[in-house]
Amino acid sequence: MALGADLIDKLLAEYKKPEEIIGENGLLKQLTKALLERAMAAELKDHLGYEKHDPAGHNSGNSRNGKSRKKDKQMQVVWTGHWSG
């Protein structure tokens, strides 16, 4: 899937300096985080067989057990899963 020029223009409209795009808390990092979280949530849904907050998962023996905030000094991405859907 290709990203349209209009979408890219909208994303970049607020940013004036390169640091705001590629810096520590820049747009690139925000987009990467959002995309990875969505992909992992979809993979978890596929693996468990039910949506988040779905009653089907309650006391099933294969349920979500929460999450905790983690912070790395450097973002490293290694994904060995598969795309579902």
| pLDDT tens per residue across span 60-80 | 766 666 666 666 556 565 556
Return left, alpha or beta for 69; rule: phi > 0 is left, psi -120 to 50 is alpha, else beta: beta
In this predicted structure, the answer to whether residue 57 has a pLDDT above a threshold of 60 is: yes
Instruction: Check residue 85 and report its DSSP letter.
Output: -
**pLDDT at site 35:** 93
Report which of residues 78 and 41 the model is more confident about: 41
3-state helix, strand and coil shares in percent for the chain, rounded to the nearest 5: 45, 0, 55
pTM of the model: 0.60
Domain boundaries, the chain: 18-50
In this predicted structure, the answer to whether residue 59 has a pLDDT above a threshold of 80 is: no
In this predicted structure, the answer to whether residue 84 has a pLDDT above a threshold of 60 is: no
In this predicted structure, the answer to whether residue 34 has a pLDDT above a threshold of 80 is: yes
**pLDDT at site 71:** 63
